[in-house]
Amino acid sequence: MATNTQTIKDTVKNYLMTEFLPGEDPNDLTDTTPLVTGGILDSISTFKLVGFLHSKFDVKLNANEIANHLNTLNDITDIVQAKQGVA
Partner 1 sequence: MTRRLENLLGDAHQLYPDRVAIEGPDEQSVSYGKFAGAVAKIAALLQAQGIGNGDRVGIYAHKSINTVAAMFGIMTAGAAYVPVDPDAPIRRNAYIFSDCQVKAVWAEDRLLSRLQGAFPAEQVGRVLRIDDVSGICLQEIQFPDTVRSDDHLAYILYTSGSTGQPKGVMISHENALSFVDWCSDTFQPMPEDRFSSHAPFHFDLSILDLYVSFKHGATLVLIDEVTAKQPAPLAAFIADRRITVWYSAPSILSMMTQFGCMETHNYDALRLVLFAGEVFPVKYLRSLKQIWQQARYFNLYGPTETNVCTYHEIPADIPFERNEPYPIGKSCSHVDCQMLTGEDGSGELVVRGASVMNGYWRLPERSAKSYHIDDKGAAWYKTGDLVQIDTAGDFIFLGRLDRMVKRRGYRIELGEIEAALYRHPAILEVAVVAESVDEELTITAFISTAAEEKLSLIKLKQFCADHLPLYMMPDRFNYLDGLPKTSTGKVDYQQLSLQEA
Question: Which residues contribute to the site for partner 1 (CB under 8 A)?
Answer: 21, 24-25, 28-29, 33-34, 37-40, 42
DSSP 9-41: HHHHHHHHHHHH-TTS-GGGS-TT--STTTTSS
Between 38 and 51, whose beta carbon lies closer to partner 1? Answer: 38
Closer residue to partner 1, CB minimum distance, 35 or 59: 35
Q: How far is the CB of 27 from partner 1 (least distance, A)?
A: 9
The Cβ of residue 8 has, within 10 Å, a number of other Cβ atoms equal to 23
Task: Compute the least distance from the CB of residue 69 to partner 1, in Å.
Answer: 18
Query: Please, are residues 80 and 59 in contact by the beta-carbon 8 Å criterion?
Result: yes
